[in-house]
Amino acid sequence: MLIHSASQLICLRGGAQRGAHLGELDIIPDGAVLLQGDTITQVGTSADLLRRFPHETRLDAHQQVVMPGFVDPHTHLIWAGDRADEFTQRLEGKSYMEIMAAGGGINATVRATRQASSSDLKAATSSRARAALRHGTTTLEAKSGYALDIPGEERLLEIIMELDSELPLDIIPTYLGAHAIPPEFSGHTQDYVDLLVEIALPQLKTWWQQRYTKQPLPFVDVFCEPTVFNLQHSHTILSTAKSLDYPLKMHVDEFENIGGAALAAELGASSADHLVKISTADIQKLAATPTVAVALPCTPFGLAENLYTPAREIIANDGLLALASDLNPGTAWCGNMQFVIALACRYMKMTPAQALAAATINAAAAVSRQDKVGSLEPGKQADLLILNVPDYRHLGYRFGENLVQIVIKKGKVIDFS
Ligand code: NIG
Ligand code: FE
């Protein structure tokens, strides 16, 4: 298929974009892209490709932007129930951590998820994944973390992997057994950490390798906060995961800075996520490594807080910055990367060009998939969006409606009817 006459073909060739390079969109005006099977084989001007490939099926993108599909590198896609009651409590003045300490928060969703049947859980998760796809997300990371016991976490990962093979989007799994202290370990955090490192992580590796022989191990992630998993707990869990060859991710500096970002850098995590409270020293430590800084602006917005990840400081210090949704039932029930971009522009003062690159090629780097997705270049997977706007800056500028007209996944136009 030859997609041609795009007002702007946003290529983003050349890999992840660090520091001042963020936002180099590599635009071809009146651009065209040739897809063969599930792969991009040519990008260029319409005049050139129409002349060289006269017999291809054509798709006219006149007055429209053609860009790579969004990569959402941080979601908690799989859960049951909702926490609408907690939203009201927060508006009345209770904090997220107060609600969590009283047994609500993540553990409220753990209770609902443990009770849900696999078919209900799968249906709810599938519907959220399809909504994200409809809004342009063609690759998405999905964390477990709402079962917390070993068989329950395996069930969540199993459903994630089923949806990865059944739905027309790529889902990248993460094991987040260290999301909260489960109710049966309340007051005994160290015992739960011991269980994770002595039993859960080794057992999950064996289970995974028997079941998913061709798939790399999932990421292992930890919610690093003083009242959840402190720095010592996080270090114990992640260094064990690393010695078992799991790739790493971390939730750090969401509510308090206890040095989690420096730990992510030291352990060579693929990404350090949230970073609302990150210090200048830690921004510099992260920037000196390949660890991607992932900002999640839906989270402070969802919590009605005023502080956002200091994107400009991360960029000024030559950091590698990506954007993600954090889709979850507690802080941010939103899997729409267009809305993430709109927030990043307003509250993190990113330009639409920077936000677009952070939501595609840099987001791909945050899940170690930058060789496969996140840009339009020959050899990459044919995951593309056609936006019904003539200029990419409408992303960010406009919000609250879906600007994605057509989603193409692995070379096929998705039918949403
Ligand atoms: O990234 N912080 C931990 N995890 C989520 C919230 C999950 C929840 O509240 O259910 C987050 O914000
Ligand atoms: Fe999260």
- Predicted confidence at residue 319, as pLDDT, reads 98
Q: 137-143 and 70-72 as β-strands: parallel, antiparallel, unpaired? A: parallel
For the chain, where do the domains classified as CATH 3.20.20.140 start and end? 70-366
pLDDT of residue 139: 98
Spatial separation of the C-alpha atoms in residues 254 and 252, rounded to whole Å: 6
Q: Rounded mean pLDDT of 208-236?
A: 97
Instruction: State the pLDDT confidence band at 89, using cuts at 50, 70 and 90.
Output: very high
d(CA 70, CA 344) in angstroms, rounded, equals: 15
Q: What is the pLDDT of residues 359-407, one digit of tens each?
A: 999 999 999 999 999 999 999 999 999 999 999 999 999 999 999 999 9
Q: 338-356 in b/e burial notation, b at 16+ Cβ within 10 A?
A: bbbbbbbbebbebebbbbb
Could you write out the three-class secondary structure of 42-79?
Answer: EEEEHHHHHHHCCCCCEEECECCEEEECEEECCCCCCC
Q: Strands 27-36 and 271-274, how do they pair?
A: unpaired
Which pLDDT score is estimated for 239? 98
| Mean pLDDT for the chain overall | 98
For atom 9 of ligand 1, the residue with the nearest CA is: 330
Residue 277, number of CB atoms within 10 A of its CB = 18
Which SS3 state, helix, strand or coil, does residue 137 take? Answer: strand
Superfamily classification of domain 2-68+375-413? Urease, subunit C, domain 1 (2.30.40.10)
* Rounded distance from Cα 106 to ligand 1 centre (Å): 7
Give nearest CA residue, ligand 1 atom 12: 331
Cα 170 to Cα 49: distance, rounded to the nearest angstrom: 29
Residues making up the chain, counted from first to last: 417
**Joined tokens for residue 109:** 């969703």
SS3 219: strand
Q: Which pLDDT score, from 0 to 100, does residue 81 have?
A: 98
How far is 298 from 313, CA to CA, in rounded Å?
Answer: 19
Q: Tell me the pLDDT band of 253, cut-offs 50, 70 and 90.
A: very high
In this structure, the residue with its CA closest to atom 3 of ligand 1 is 223
Report the pLDDT averaged over residues 309-314.
98
Report how far Cα 38 is from the mean position of its chain's Cα atoms. Answer: 22
Percentage with pLDDT > 90 across the chain: 100
Minimal-distance CA residue to ligand 1 atom 7? 330
Ligand with smallest separation from the Cα of 78: 1
| Max Cα-Cα span within the chain | 70
Phi, psi angles (nearest 5°) of residue 165: -85, -25
Residue whose token pair is 């879906």: 402
Angstrom distance (rounded) from CA 19 to CA 317: 7
Specify the pLDDT at position 148: 98
When pLDDT is cut at 50, 70 and 90, the band that residue 92 belongs to is: very high
Residue range 61-78, pLDDT digits in tens: 999 999 999 999 999 999
Beta bridge partners of 29: 8
- The alpha carbon of 279 and the centre of ligand 1 are apart by a number of angstroms equal to 21
Which atom of ligand 1 lies at the shortest distance from residue 299's CA?
12
Question: Per residue in 145-174, pLDDT tens?
Answer: 999 999 999 999 999 999 999 999 999 999
According to DSSP, the β-strands at 2-10 and 27-36 are: antiparallel
> Which class for 149: exposed (0-12), middle (13-18), buried (19 or more C-beta within 10 A)?
middle
Q: Contact 27/8 with Cβ under 8 angstroms?
A: yes
Q: In the chain, list all ranges with CATH 2.30.40.10.
A: 2-68+375-413
The residue-averaged pLDDT of 48-68 equals 98
- CA angle 291/130/209 to nearest 5° reads 55
> How far apart are alpha carbons 190 and 181 in whole angstroms?
10
Could you tell me the pLDDT band of residue 190, with boundaries at 50, 70 and 90?
A: very high
Q: Which ligand is nearest to the CA of 106?
A: 1
pTM: 0.98
Residue 217: DSSP 8-state: P
How confident is the model at residue 315, as a pLDDT? 98
- Alpha-carbon distance of 224 to 353, in angstroms, equals 31
Nearest residue to 225 (alpha-carbon basis) of 250, 249, 188, 201: 250
**Closest ligand to the CA of 249:** 2
Query: With bands split at pLDDT 50, 70 and 90, how would you rate the model's confidence at 349?
Result: very high
Tell me, what's the pLDDT at 134?
Answer: 98
Q: Is 26 left (phi over 0), alpha (psi -120 to 50) or beta?
A: left
Phi and psi dihedrals of 313, rounded to 5?
Answer: -70, -35
pLDDT at residue 42, rounded to an integer: 98
**Atom 2 of ligand 1, nearest CA residue:** 223
Q: Please tell me the predicted confidence (pLDDT) of residue 30.
A: 98
Ligand 1 shell residues, CB under 6 Å: 76, 105-106, 109, 223, 251, 254, 299, 326, 328-331
User: What is the model's pLDDT at position 176?
Assistant: 98
Q: Which of 236, 333, 317, 256 lies closest to 95, judged by CA?
A: 256
Would you say 219 and 246 are in contact if contact means Cβ atoms under 8 Å apart?
A: yes
Q: Which pLDDT band holds residue 114 (cuts at 50, 70, 90)? A: very high
CATH number of 70-366, picked from 3.40.190.10, 2.130.10.10, 3.20.20.140, 3.90.550.10: 3.20.20.140
Give the phi and the psi of residue 28 in degrees, each rounded to 5.
Answer: -105, 115
